[in-house]
């Protein structure tokens, strides 16, 4: 009769029999115990239920695995959502924890008492609301404004309305302890240009400048505020804001750029990072055209633009440059701007700090070297844009001229482009150091310079280095001998 029982039933039968025998043996062994043992029938029932539950769990796992296999697309999408949700939640918690630490640090400055006769510190912020695809205002309010308010600083925010508006704003800004640029390299260049035009390069009375890196390109800020990869954006902005609060400054170099045109008198442009010209500059200018690649668009631009013949054309130019000089009567001769002096200039005390160089004679400073170049990549950089030299102690101020190879294969072009996006240097054929340099393009077709990542038509220009022209707030932990601390009395 047992043969008529299904296989599963047989297994249950033999299993229950074995368990009953074991249980009865155990009952006989511990009969003298005071514990109440289950009857054999009750024990068999419990064992049967336990085995059924185990089998039910196994069937559930098998059904789940089969469902995932049959609907793998939906399962993969759901798994991606779960992972993204967990990652976003963790990132949110880490961000809140980090900002709480910075807020406590800023509040320590706000809780300090000041004498009755001293007014609270005030700063003027030049905010570019269009920077970084219109994300700058939101990021400023999230990560910068709370720290400034907790530190007890009076903040006046002025928003730029168009390209070049920051230069105009500098004509009327006054009564502030510092000017802080909330934007990228382009906005910083405009502010520096407006200030130096306004003062005829008399930098002795200039208030310190700050930079809140809210733009897409932040060359100088990356060297002022080096940070680790974790929560890079939040830490980057918080460190820049704390630098304004802690009032640690560093003098940085500025380059004056003048168009060489005998027929037209133009106002100079001032830059703090550098000038780029060539195929890589043209590829960088087209990054936003590949927006559909998301965060990979900066790599895609080199893949697609490397195939275009227009980006492979060499740039020919004549370079006339003078060697770097520590200071002499030639290079320290005070630059006189063609801009008419107004009431503001008459109120500024004349800077006499360069008078000590008038008796110093350096014949090398007056010698001009000429070089014809043909290259696909030319860069002219200040020390602010070179990480290896930015934190070093004071030396001879200089501009660094990097001349790339005359031609590159498609693979090398893409590889070098990707290296530059990762913060590494591209292949360089020659490097020159200069105090002043004239670049005279010899191009029949139109090309463009990138000056602090703002685009200008390539024309003959003269670039002059202005060493330590402005003071900028920097990270306190990276203090060097060149750093100074501001005090107010």
DSSP, res 121: P
How far, CA to CA in Å, does 149 sit from each of 106, 111, 183, 341, 441? 9, 11, 19, 37, 49
- Give pLDDT tens digits along the chain (489 positions): 444 444 444 454 445 445 544 544 554 444 444 444 445 555 555 555 555 666 676 777 777 777 777 777 777 878 888 888 888 888 889 889 999 999 999 999 989 888 888 888 999 999 999 888 888 999 999 999 999 999 999 999 999 998 889 999 998 888 899 999 999 999 999 999 999 998 888 877 789 999 999 988 888 888 888 876 667 889 999 999 999 999 989 899 999 999 987 677 788 999 999 999 998 998 888 888 888 888 888 899 998 888 776 555 788 999 999 988 877 776 766 444 444 444 444 434 445 555 566 666 677 777 889 999 999 999 999 988 887 665 555 678 899 999 999 888 888 889 988 988 887 888 889 999 999 999 999 877 888 999 998 899 899 999 999 988 999 998 876 554 444 444 433
Mapped onto helix, strand or coil, the DSSP state of residue 361 is: coil
Helix (H, G, I), strand (E, B) or coil at 59: helix
pTM for this prediction? 0.76
210: left (phi over 0), alpha (psi -120 to 50) or beta: beta
Q: Which pair of structure tokens corresponds to residue 123?
A: 């700063």
The whole-number pLDDT of residue 70 equals 76
Q: How many residues belong to the chain?
A: 489
Task: Please enumerate in sequence order all residues whose Cβ is within 8 A of that of 365, keeping only pairs 6 or more positions apart, or say none.
Answer: 322, 323, 325, 328, 330, 331, 435
CB-based contacts of 136: which residues, under 8 Å, 6+ apart? 127, 128, 129, 130, 182, 183, 214, 215
**pLDDT score of 41:** 56
DSSP state of 307: T
Measured at the CA of 325, the angle between CA 324 and CA 328, to 5 degrees, comes to 155
Judging by DSSP bridges, how do beta strands 448-451 and 274-278 pair with one another? antiparallel
The H-assigned helical ranges of 111-152 are: 131-134, 136-139, 145-150
359-365 long-range contacts, Cβ below 8 Å, gap at least 24? 359/329, 360/327, 360/328, 360/329, 360/332, 361/328, 361/329, 362/325, 362/328, 362/330, 362/331, 364/323, 364/325, 365/322, 365/323, 365/325, 365/328, 365/330, 365/331, 365/435
pLDDT at site 13: 44
* 307 within 8 A of 282, measured Cβ to Cβ: no
What's the rounded Cα separation, in Å, for the pair 269 and 254?
A: 10
Rg (CA), the chain: 35
CA gap 269, 258 in Å, rounded: 7
CA dihedral 54, 58, 61, 67 (to 10 degrees): -140
Q: Where are the domains of the chain?
A: 7-27+37-64, 97-485
141: CB partners within 8 A, 6+ apart:
none
Q: Which fold has domain 97-485?
A: Tumour Suppressor Smad4 (2.60.200)
Asked if 145 and 113 touch (Cβ cutoff 8 Å), the reply is: no
Torsion angle (degrees, nearest 10) of CA 202, 203, 204, 208: 150
Coil, helix or strand for 186? helix
Contact present, 472 and 249 (Cβ < 8 Å): yes
Residue 279's alpha-carbon distances to 276, 312, 406, 445, in angstroms, are: 10, 6, 11, 14
Q: Tell me the CA distances in angstroms from 339 to 196, 208, 378, one per residue in order.
A: 11, 23, 31
Q: Read off the tokens for 138.
A: 């939101």
What sign results for the dihedral spanned by CA atoms 405, 411, 414, 419?
A: negative
SS3 350: coil
Contact 458, 449 (CB under 8 A): yes
Angular region, 452: left φ>0, alpha ψ -120 to 50, beta rest:
left
Of residues 291, 284, 265, 316, the one with CA closest to residue 450 = 284
- 54-65 core/surface letters (b: 16 or more CB in 10 A; e: else): eeeeeeeeeeee
Scanning the structure block, which residue is given the tokens 């005390």? 349
Cβ atoms of 99 and 139 within 8 Å: the answer is: no
HSE, CB side, 13 Å, CA atoms: give it for residue 404: 25
Cβ of 336: how many Cβ atoms within 10 Å?
8
């Amino acid at each position: 009769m047992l043969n008529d029982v299904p296989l599963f039933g047989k297994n249950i039968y033999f299993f229950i029999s074995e368990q009953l025998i074991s249980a009865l043996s155990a009952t006989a062994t511990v009969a003298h115990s005071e514990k109440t043992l289950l009857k054999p029938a009750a024990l068999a029932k419990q064992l049967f239920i336990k085995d059924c539950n185990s089998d039910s769990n196994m069937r559930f796992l098998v059904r789940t695995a089969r469902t995932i296999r049959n609907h793998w697309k939906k399962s993969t999408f759901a798994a991606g959502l779960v992972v993204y949700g967990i990652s976003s939640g963790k990132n949110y918690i880490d961000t809140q924890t980090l900002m709480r630490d910075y807020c406590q640090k800023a509040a320590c400055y706000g809780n300090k008492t000041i004498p009755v006769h001293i007014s609270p510190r005030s700063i003027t912020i030049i905010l570019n609301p269009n920077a970084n695809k219109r994300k700058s205002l939101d990021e400023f309010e999230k990560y910068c404004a709370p720290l400034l308010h907790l530190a007890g600083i009076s903040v006046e925010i002025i928003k730029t309305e168009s390209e070049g508006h920051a230069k105009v704003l500098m004509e009327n800004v006054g009564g502030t302890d510092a000017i802080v640029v909330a934007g990228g390299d382009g906005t910083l260049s405009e502010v520096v240009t407006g200030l130096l035009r306004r003062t005829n390069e008399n930098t002795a009375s200039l208030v310190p400048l700050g930079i809140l890196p809210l733009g897409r390109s932040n060359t100088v800020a990356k060297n002022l505020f080096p940070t680790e990869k974790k929560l890079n954006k939040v830490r980057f902005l918080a460190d820049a804001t704390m630098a304004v609060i802690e009032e640690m400054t560093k003098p940085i170099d500025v380059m004056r750029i003048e168009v060489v045109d005998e027929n037209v008198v133009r106002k100079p442009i001032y830059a703090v990072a550098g000038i780029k010209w060539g195929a890589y500059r043209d590829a960088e200018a087209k990054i936003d055209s590949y927006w559909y690649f998301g965060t990979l668009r900066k790599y895609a631009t080199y893949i697609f633009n490397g195939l275009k013949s227009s980006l492979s054309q060499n740039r020919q130019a004549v370079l006339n440059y003078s060697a770097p000089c520590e200071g002499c009567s030639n290079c320290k001769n005070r630059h006189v701007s063609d801009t008419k002096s107004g009431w503001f200039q008459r109120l500024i005390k004349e800077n006499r700090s360069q008078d000590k160089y008038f008796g110093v004679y350096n014949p090398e400073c007056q010698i001009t070297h000429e070089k014809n170049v043909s290259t696909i990549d030319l860069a002219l950089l200040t020390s602010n844009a070179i990480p290896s030299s930015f934190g070093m102690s004071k030396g001879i101020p200089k501009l660094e001229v990097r001349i790339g190879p005359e031609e590159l294969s498609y693979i090398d072009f893409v590889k070098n482009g990707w290296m530059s996006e990762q913060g590494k240097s591209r292949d360089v054929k020659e490097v020159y150091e200069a105090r002043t340099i004239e670049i005279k393009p010899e191009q029949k077709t139109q090309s463009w310079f990138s000056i602090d990542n703002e685009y200008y038509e390539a024309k003959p220009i003269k670039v002059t280095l202005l060493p330590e022209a402005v003071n900028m707030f920097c990270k306190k932990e990276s203090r060097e001998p060149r750093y100074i601390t501001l005090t107010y009395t």
